[in-house]
Structure 1
Amino acid sequence: MPSHLHVAIVGGGLGGIALAIALKARNIPFTIYEARSAFTEIGAGINFAPNGLRALREIDPSLGDRIYALATRNLPPSEDTWMWMRYGAGHRDGETVMELRAPPTGCMAMHRQELLAVLAEKMGYEHARFNKKLVSFEQDEDAVRLRFEDGTEESASVLVGCDGIHSRVRACMFDSESAVARPHFNGDGAYRAVIPIAHAEKVLGETARQSQALLGPNGYVICYPVNNGTAVNVGIWVSRAGQVWDRKDWVATSQGEQFRRDLEGWGPRVRALMPFFGDEPAFWAAHQHRVQPASFVQGRVILVGDGAHAMPPHIGAGASQAVEDVYVLAEVLASIQPGDASLAAVRTALRAAESVRMPRFLAVQDISVRAGPDWYSFFERGLEGDELERFNLGMRESVEWVWQVDLRDEVEKAKRTLAELRKA
């Protein structure tokens, strides 16, 4: 029987580094393996909802405070507002459909690389290994053994796949060519730009400093301030329902002609944003894990974050779900009996963590999936009166359920399940 617990974390993104911090705070040895030569994130803006910030604070109170200070939020007195939903076309162009409030954070926006830098500093680099691209793993009663592209091998008690939507750990767990292992095109995507605040204000007026989504024909435009309010992150999301993405690359370059077609029928404010995207903007196709396995645990191995539940970004929930995952997992791993890193002990702990996380993150994924078509079709549906009220109420109830989770209760449920599984 192995005498101590050691966790191998594959993937040095948000989830992987957050897990490392959580393990460090709980005195659980770990090594984090990153395929690149440094910790990097793809994309520009990211925002945390209240549940995400609470998870960070449960992982490490000082970490939550630092991320809170890093974030760009809506100006007083609207700090608790997550998003203003507004018409982006037609005779109501610019009018507010609803205001979604998310106290106490509102919209906490930041640059992904800034966030990663803060997390990496908190974690420290003594247990980080770079240029470590996982090829395969095998496991037995004693350990899980990882093989890397550079020919090296490492052993651990637990392997946690935090390696994102292209997860190699997931591909090794399931047939790499199967529908379970592969991400699937979500039927939509976005054009992206970061616009200096002075330019954004000329187009959007004072609302340039507010987080907002403009709803128009077959799409929506999301805008929120970043970099301490000096710039605005803008994503123009459009539906590609019914289309097949047959490109190997998920980013299609030189899409100027399609971009101009996509924005036909939009209001003057949105169309005035078009020059900031350039003559030939790229289109970023969104993907998700549409087909899910019966379990995300195999023996000593577990998937978390986007490796388990990559989802569309339509309610901004993906990052927070990853942080929730690793908080619960770290707490359960800390409950393993000292000196017992046997297969039975590890597998039981991973299943206990999954028992509370899997139902929740799959439900959040479903809400995220359904929100896209709701936003895309809103303008054409022309909702009024009671129908509009029902739409607003349904959206509020969905996102508030995501935001208002009791994370400590989730941990207690997992620990109770762990105790029950030990008795079984």
Structure 2
Amino acid sequence: MNELHRRHRAVIPDWVALYYADPLEITHGEGRHVWDAEGRRYLDFFGGILTTMTAHALPEVTKAVSEQAGRIVHSSTLYLNRPMVELAEKVAELSGIPDARVFFTTSGTEANDTALLLATGYRRSNQILAMRNSYHGRSFGAVGITGNRGWSPTSLSPLQTLYVHGGVRSRGPYAHLSDAAFTAACVADLEDVLGQTRGGVAALIAEPVQGVGGFTAPPDGLFAAFREVLDRHGILWITDEVQTGWGRTGDHFWGWQAHAASGPPDILTFAKGIGNGMSIGGVVARAEIMNCLDSNSISTFGGSPVTMAAGLANLGYLLDHDLQANAKRIGEQLITRLRTGLADLPGVREVRGRGLMVGIELVRPGTDAADPDAASAALEAAREGGLLIGKGGGHNTSVLRIAPPLSLTEAEAEEGAEILVRALRDG
């Protein structure tokens, strides 16, 4: 055990996960690459958990942060804040939500907690619909709506949570159905759950693509079908775009747009990529919902001038360089290359994904049983080959998660795929 690892274990909680048998200290990065404390370079296909969205050390972002820090670092929401207003204007317009209001937080967890506060306050109900296999954060409220047992350390909750089918297409009782029949079955399940409730449910919260759950997604249009049911009951729809937002899926700027027949959600949460590593989260909702709270509130750190400057520069770069289109083009190349390279491996159950959000589900050969040991071995082998990836999944963490910065090049996609295919084949 190296010295920093020993010190980490002496002061950091045991439940703070570390990757690798010999944990990695990342000292600096540039573009799609990072370096460790020993000077070794890695191609980064996880981006600090989908957070380094554009590139490491992006000059436009570092310049904006430096210039803003030279003026003022902090003021709180008690004072007018020009960068916060400017970023809020851009996010409101991009969200698709009419008459939108934006509240900034410091994380996706806090954003989802705020969305729950708004929904339960607006509807005067603490009943929440959530998806099985979901993940929405580590706070007490967010854990209470997380349907992935590996990330749910307590059953206690301020909410009454009702879990419905639909987040995982290729597992569960409806996996054998066609997309249309799958959607119909999930809608019927939703109707059945609502028939067992007392009083009004506040909201459905759902990730368009489940992140920690292993990059699983329902058929396009499922949430539009859900929305027809929700609207009849007056139930709000919260879309958790913490991992799917800002064009990562390639086909759409937001994940909810794959279900666009329903129109925009009532509430949208975001975080991670918008700050390119700076701590930004937030909530967008139409004014009548956002303004429903009848007491004062502030955010000490949400909307910090420095993080807002970073968000403005990062979002500007993403839009100016059409990184959504790049995510679609390079993502299709990467998925095709992985599917081709892994097609005959009995331990690979599925290569799935959209844009630069790709999952490889591993199972014990000849079975449908998850193989977390194989996932851990693949993580180690990829690192040895010079590639950093993530892992997740609702079935014992057996899905490799691939989510590089959206500026990934064709050559880098090919290099990363080659390393990953070799890691899985040699394992």
Which bin holds the TM-score, normalised by the shorter protein? Answer: under 0.3
TM-score (normalised: structure 2): 0.26
